[in-house]
Structure 1
Amino acid sequence: MATIRDVAAKAGVSAATVSRIINNKGEATPETIARVHKVIKELGYKPNVVARSLTSRKSNTIALLVPTINNPFFPELARGVEDVANSHGLNIFLCNTDDEREKVNNYLVTLRERYVDGIIINSLNLTNKDLEELDANGIPTVTLDRTFSTHDFSSISVKHRVGAQLATKHLIDIGCKRIGLIRGPEDDLTAVQRMWGYRDYVKDFDWFDQSWIALGDFSVRSGYICMKELFQRHPDIDGVFASNDLMAIGLLKAAHEWGRKVPDELAIVGFDGIDMSQYTAPPISTIKQPIYEMGKMAMEELLRLIKEPQSKPNKLELDIEFILRESSMK
């Protein structure tokens, strides 16, 4: 593999001159610049990216922190980020944090040391201090969705409470009399907002109390377990809003085992609009988030902050869409 010294020797210049030309620093005659680039091409020389980032404090790399890659929501989000980043010649460093504070902290330390050009973050375990330290190090950030947004930096989320209201109202409108909720984790802001959207429509019914809400963790398994709990507590349940599509898939299995026909005896609505929700039996009605578009917008906002470091942050809240499918067609 060719080195910078090989390029310098063949071009008849010093290694320092080659370095300056590669990094667009200092002066050299047009003839020298052309000769050096010609030799670089002939030898197939590839500059050391790490060394260049140490010099320029830029790496042409963007980091994306997500809580898990097991939920199909996040790969689709990452694809939106990646497509925009790649179109601008940037690389993506994907960080799977498992929603653990220690992993989030370790990644942030590593990313500062590697001089990433910006970070997009979706994590419950992010603090205002984290964002301030990144800002102090000249690293712009955009937070997404589940991350708290009461900070002074750019953020993108969707109207979770409105989506939950639409889901619950739909179940009421099709004639459901006893509607349960399988919610997400207690410390997840999106889960809390969706829970309040559900409560907005059921809180005044005389049958409603907290026992109609089962606590899940956004996994298929938790949807299955929570639905069995709701069947045991309330055998007369005839409608369920699941706070994400994965839990809705799990509760479909529980309904089948309990002998409940969907949608005739149990209507179901999920949340997210992941692709697999349309391939279940029956397909699941859902509140669709603009997942891919959210990733694209986050990357576009980060590019704006990189190019205009003194610009003001943007806080965007995106619309959702109700998708009617067989799981709630009565």
Structure 2
Amino acid sequence: MAASIKDVAKEAGVSIATVSRVLNDINVVNEETKKKVQEAIKKLQYRPNIVARSLKTQKTSTIGIIIPDISSQFYPEIVRGAEDVANIYNYNIILCNTDLDTEKEMEYLRVLREKMVEGILYMSSSLQPKIFNLIDELQIPTVLIENRDEDKKYPSVTIDNEAGAFDAVNYLIKKGNKKIAYIGNKDNGSNVTYLRYEGYKRALKENNMELDDKVVYSGGLKVEDGYEGIIHIIEENKIDSVFCASDECAIGAINALRERNIKVPEDVDVMGFNDIYEASIFYPKITTIAQPMYDMGSVGMRLLIKIINKQKVEETNFELPYQLIERDSCK
């Protein structure tokens, strides 16, 4: 049977109230008594009843993290950065995977409120008004990661996705490419991949190149989307390069090109986005725009914990630097 606070008090020879003060770090207990209580806790392997404590204090030391796709290689590194910081400040996390489903996102927000989390790190493939309405209704401190709302009302940590895509396509143009395809998403103005599509379009425009919808494929960000995107594009079009809105798309695109005996990069340059681990070991190694994934998680968690504890926050919308990584998938 698990030890109770009463057992700890008896073992240490103190009152239950004294044990409670030690557990809650209330600085009225002398060091000798505190040491006795701590030794009793260790000996009895006592663990406080978190539910009971949270009901009394309204603090659970728990933070919810919502991600859209746990199978993606992009999000685990963000979660790792967030968790490492949470551990430093003695917070636990609850991880929720929404499978790119907005209704599931909303349900998890409600569940996390019922679990009395103190804050939420929120990652989404898109940000819809009903999501923000629910966040406002639930009144849980929330920090957006990867995405941000247009008005910057909500705290956020992201990169400049439009500028990153612009630099990526500019790089392909400087390599001498004339027909640059795009694989990603272009249908939702609040989606980060839509911003990458905007960067793609701007790079073409500023280099006096025409936008050709026949070489633009709007789909998801997984390997199969890149594969299907290339099949769709090259069926009736000749391209010399492709900008993919994720590295996983780029991997699928390269596989599809290989199957049709089209060499990368000799025949077609392929550019990715994110710099997931596999981009550095896949063959050919993928040229990409690197996002500071770990830093996005750690900065977001530090910001959220400050907000939870009502500490002074000078900046609430962080835009972290990205980097173009040159590898072997471009000539």
Specify if TM > 0.5.
yes
What does 1:138-157 align with in structure 2 at a 5 Å threshold?
Answer: 139-157=140-158
What is the CA distance between 1:82 and its match in structure 2? 1.0
Structure 1 residue 242, shift from structure 2 partner: 0.5
Structure 2 residue identity aligned to 1:232: E
Trace 1:17-166 onto structure 2 (pairs within 5 A).
18-19=19-20, 21-23=22-24, 35-123=36-124, 124=126, 127-135=131-139, 139-166=140-167
Calculate the TM-score normalised by the size of structure 2. 0.89
- 1:32-71: CA deviations, max 9, x gaps? 6565444333322211111111111111222111101111
Question: 2:174 maps to what in 1?
Answer: 173
Paired position in structure 1 for 2:219: 216
**3-state secondary structure, aligned to 2:133:** helix
Q: Is the 8 A contact 2:158 2:320 kept in 1?
A: yes
Distance 2:53 2:38 in 1: 17
Number of matched residues? 325
- Give the CA deviation at 1:225: 0.4
Determine the structure 2 residue equivalent to 1:194: 196
Identity of aligned residues (%): 37
| Secondary structure in 1 matching 2:107 | helix
Name the CA distance, whole Å, in 1 between partners of 2:312 and 2:329: 49
Gaps of 5+ in 1: none
Tell me the secondary structure at the aligned position of residue 329 of structure 2.
Answer: helix
Aligned residue for 2:249? 247
TM-score (norm 1): 0.89
AA at the equivalent of 1:61: T
Instruction: Describe the shift of the 1:40–1:212 C-alpha distance in structure 2 as closer, same or farther (beyond 3 A).
Output: same
Could you say what the CA RMSD is over the residues aligned between the two structures, in angstroms?
A: 2.4
The residue type equivalent to 2:59 in the other structure is K
Cα deviation digits, residues 123-166 of structure 1 (max 9, x gap): 1256222232343xxx3211112353535221111111111111
- Structure 1 window deviating more from structure 2 (1-10 vs 263-272): it is 1-10
Cα distance in 2 between the residues matched to 1:266 and 1:35 = 71
Q: Within the alignment, does 1:225 sit opposite 2:228 as a pair?
A: yes
SS at 2:71 equivalent = coil
Residues 185 and 208 of structure 1, relative CA distance in 2, 3 Å threshold? closer
**CA shift digits 1:264-293 (9 cap, x unpaired):** 110110111111111111111101111111
Residue deviations 1:64-84 (CA, integer Å, cap 9, x gap): 111011111100111111111
How many Å separate the matches in 2 of 1:151 and 1:128? Answer: 12
Describe the superposition over 1:162-209 as per-residue Cα deviations: whole angstroms up to 9, x where unpaired.
Answer: 111111111111111211100236336211110011111224756532
Is the partner of 1:42 in helix, strand or coil? helix
Specify the alignment match of 1:272 in structure 2.
Answer: 274
Contact 1:85–1:92 (Cα < 8 Å) also in 2: yes
Distance 2:27 2:87 in 1: 29
* Residue of structure 2 equivalent to 1:325: 327
Q: Which moved more, 1:163-172 or 1:122-131?
A: 122-131
Q: Which amino acid aligns with 1:243?
A: A
Aligned twin of 2:289: 287
CA contact under 8 A between 1:267 and 1:328: conserved in structure 2? yes
Contact 2:81–2:295 (Cα < 8 Å) also in 1: yes
